[in-house]
Amino acid sequence: MTVHLVLIDALNLIRRIYAVQERPFLLNNELAENTKQQVLFNTAKACEQALQKILDQLQPTHALAVFDSQAPCWRYDIFPDYKKGRKKMPEHLADKLPDIQDRFMKNFVDSLVSEADEADDLIATLAIKVALRGQNVTIVSTDKCFLSLLNPNIKVYDYFNRRYLDEEYVVNKFSVKPDKLMDLWTLTGDNTNKIPGVAGIGQVTASKLLNQYGSIKSILSATDLKSSISEKLSLHDEQIALSRKLLTLKIDIPLGFNLKDIRLPNENELASS
């Protein structure tokens, strides 16, 4: 059987949908108590509709919605400023997640909620495991971290803009191929997650260096670097190691289930149920 697994970055989808539903009701950037339930109902309904569209558009054989752990992940242990300043999920939306998960389950899509890991790491682990078996995976997310996983068996789909974020997209946006993205962000930092890079090295310089030398390791061992670049790198050797560790997606998380557990019913099975 040919497998096409769709992995939904659930909070990426839900929070963006919630923001759209909330916006018309905001007053002074606040949501009145008497409108919260309406916004939450609209959000849950829109999330279910989005899931149905994703299934219709992508036609997977297997699907899973992956959620972040409620507890801080391991990255906070080694870098307390990870994601510092990022707006937290509203409590009333967090309380609504079980209802949204139930709606997903009505459409035969189970939810995976880790006790300790980020959805990014869980998705990466699943995607790599399936791809290594020669099967196909589509990650539904607008999170750029997944672009580093792109290969012939792993695609990234932006539901909101109805497009695949492919190698051409990566090269146009970042000036490097997907396999160099982690090195690129190690040098430039990742402002979205408040991961610092090498001060004074932006995307233009970083992409030129990576396209010339191939990797950070080769850059660091090069003997023909400009003195200004060499000095900046030498001053940030510990930062480079830390940033690389923070940015690297885990691909070895024990999952405790297999593909048959998340297989979607086919038309014959639905008709006879």
pLDDT digits (tens, 9 = 90+) for 122-177: 999 999 999 999 999 999 999 999 999 999 999 999 999 999 999 999 999 999 99
Low pLDDT (below 50) residues in the chain: none
DSSP annotation of 190:
B
Q: Residue 55 corresponds to which amino acid?
A: L
- What confidence score (pLDDT) does residue 268 get? 62
- What confidence score (pLDDT) does residue 273 get? 59
- Is 201 a known ligand-binding residue? yes
- Is 198 a known ligand-binding residue? yes
- Is 40 a known ligand-binding residue? no
Place of tokens 């990797």: 215
**Beta carbons within 8 Å of 13's beta carbon, 6+ residues apart:** 47, 50, 140, 141, 159
pTM: 0.94
Domains of the chain: 4-170 (3.40.50.1010), 175-247 (1.10.150.20)
- Reference 270, options 56, 107, 51, 62; nearest CA is 107
- Reference 100, options 15, 7, 4; nearest CA is 15
Contact between residue 154 and residue 171 where contact means Cβ atoms under 8 Å apart: no
Task: Print burial letters for 213-239: b (CB count within 10 Å at least 16), e (below 16).
Answer: beebeebeeeeebeeebeebbeebeeb
Q: How many CA atoms lie within 13 Å of 150's alpha carbon, on the beta-carbon side?
A: 24
- What confidence score (pLDDT) does residue 257 get? 87
- What confidence score (pLDDT) does residue 272 get? 64
- Is 187 a known ligand-binding residue? yes
Contact between residue 16 and residue 160 where contact means Cβ atoms under 8 Å apart: yes
- What confidence score (pLDDT) does residue 115 get? 80
Contact between residue 93 and residue 37 where contact means Cβ atoms under 8 Å apart: no
- Is 254 a known ligand-binding residue? no
